Structures are given as C-alpha cells and as structure tokens.
C-alpha cells in the first residue's frame, strides 16, 4: 500500500478581512484533498494488479490524482503564508532584488500579480522561481492542476476559488479579498521559499 500523506496543521492567527469561519471551512476542503489523494493512491495500487482489465479506470484515477494532489499541495503553500502574522518584504532582501530585476520595481510586479488574480473562473495565481534561467514568473493555474509550469518552484500562491472568500465577500468583491490576502501575508515565508528554491 502506498505511503499516506498527512494533513498539515497550520498556526494561523486572527486575520484582517478574512474571517475565522472562512479559514475553518477552507481547512475542511484542504483535509478533503489530503484524504482523496490517499484514497486514489490506494485505488491505483489495487487496480494496477490487473492493469490490463483496469486500463480505463487507471487512466481516470491518474487524471484525478493530479487534481487532488495539487489541491492538497497548493493549499499547504497558501495557508503557510498566514503563519506567524503579516510581515513586509525586505527591501534589501534577495527576493525583492529579483522582483526588481524582472519587472523594474515591486509595485509593477504586484499590479501584474493582482491583475492575474482577477482572471475569470476558479484557480490560483502563482509566483514561481525558475532555477534553470534564474528568473521569476507569474502564472494562472486553472482548478488546481492545469497550467502549472514544469520544474519551477512556487514561492507565493493565492487561492482564487470562490470558497476562499465567499463567506466574507461576494464574487464581485474579489479585489477586497486580494487586498486582505496581501494585508495578512507573511513575506518571510515567501522569502524562505525563494531561498530554498535558489539552493536547488
């Protein structure tokens, strides 16, 4: 039987503009992704014993696996961004220097990132680091798994599924949710992600 993934526990303080109820319900969805990831892996183990007769089922399970696994992992990045309370990006830090090298200045990057977050539909906005070219890239990922950039390390992940904000904001108030996310973001976590990605 495949090794089981375990739910991560997050130490999230009281947030500004994102209610405790939202976080509570959102975490339940995360737990579901962990559970479903494990169920699918167990089913694959079961069906692969007779892969010839289970070809179709295995193919569908593999497709579903990427949805559930990425749903699990994206949320782990997202919730970790809130741990330890909000902090600002260090102006003299390596991540800010990389942002300035790529986009000219922090505000230009931030405006671009926020614009991507307003993409119609459900998905995620991700700031990636490409260790091959030593560049930063922004991307929109549909659902949880469609559009991830191969081989790149996620640094900052913003959940733009309606479940991330609908208790606090209407679909027409996405901008308010985006502002609340950044008001609560612990940039030290993002900088740690960048430092780790640069070591690969």
pLDDT digits (tens, 9 = 90+) for 142-163: 988 878 888 999 999 999 999 9
Could you give the CA distance from residue 108 to residue 159 in angstroms, rounded to a whole number?
Answer: 21
Could you give the CA distance from residue 85 to residue 158 in angstroms, rounded to a whole number?
Answer: 16
Phi, psi of 14 (to 5 degrees): -65, 130
pLDDT at 1 (0 to 100): 59
pLDDT at 97 (0 to 100): 96
The alpha carbon of 113 is separated from its chain's Cα centroid by a whole number of angstroms, namely: 14
pLDDT at 193 (0 to 100): 96
Average pLDDT, the chain: 93
The alpha carbon of 194 is separated from its chain's Cα centroid by a whole number of angstroms, namely: 15
| DSSP tag of 87 | B
Of 69, 36, 87, 76, nearest in space to 159 by CA: 76
Helix (H, G, I), strand (E, B) or coil at 145: coil
Q: What is the reported pTM?
A: 0.93
- Res. 3: pLDDT tops 90: no
Q: Where do runs of H (alpha helix) occur along 50-149?
A: 55-80, 94-103, 106-117
> CA quadruple 144, 128, 181, 105: dihedral positive or negative?
negative
> CA quadruple 188, 189, 191, 195: dihedral positive or negative?
positive
Task: Retrieve residue 189's tokens.
Answer: 């976590």
- Res. 136: pLDDT tops 70: yes
Helix (H, G, I), strand (E, B) or coil at 186: strand
- Res. 83: pLDDT tops 90: yes
Q: How many other β-carbons are positioned within 10 Å of the β-carbon of residue 72?
A: 22
């Amino acid at each position: 039987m495949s090794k089981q993934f375990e739910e991560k526990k997050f130490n999230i303080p009281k947030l500004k503009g994102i209610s405790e109820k939202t976080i509570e319900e959102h975490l339940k969805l995360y737990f579901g992704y962990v559970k479903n990831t494990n169920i699918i892996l167990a089913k694959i183990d079961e069906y692969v014993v007779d892969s010839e007769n289970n070809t179709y089922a295995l193919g569908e399970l593999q497709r579903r696996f990427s949805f559930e696994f990425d749903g699990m992992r994206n949320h782990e990045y997202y919730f970790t961004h809130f741990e330890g309370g909000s902090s600002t990006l260090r102006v003299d830090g390596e991540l800010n220097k990389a942002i300035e090298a790529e986009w000219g200045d922090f505000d230009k990057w931030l405006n671009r990132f926020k614009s991507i977050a307003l993409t119609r539909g459900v998905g995620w906005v991700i700031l990636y680091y490409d260790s091959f070219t030593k560049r930063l890239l922004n991307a929109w990922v549909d659902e949880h798994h469609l559009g991830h950039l191969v081989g790149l390390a996620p640094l900052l992940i913003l959940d733009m599924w309606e479940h991330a904000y609908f208790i606090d904001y209407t679909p027409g108030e996405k901008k308010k949710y985006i502002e609340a996310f950044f008001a609560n973001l612990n940039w030290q976590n993002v900088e740690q992600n960048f430092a780790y990605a640069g070591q690969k």
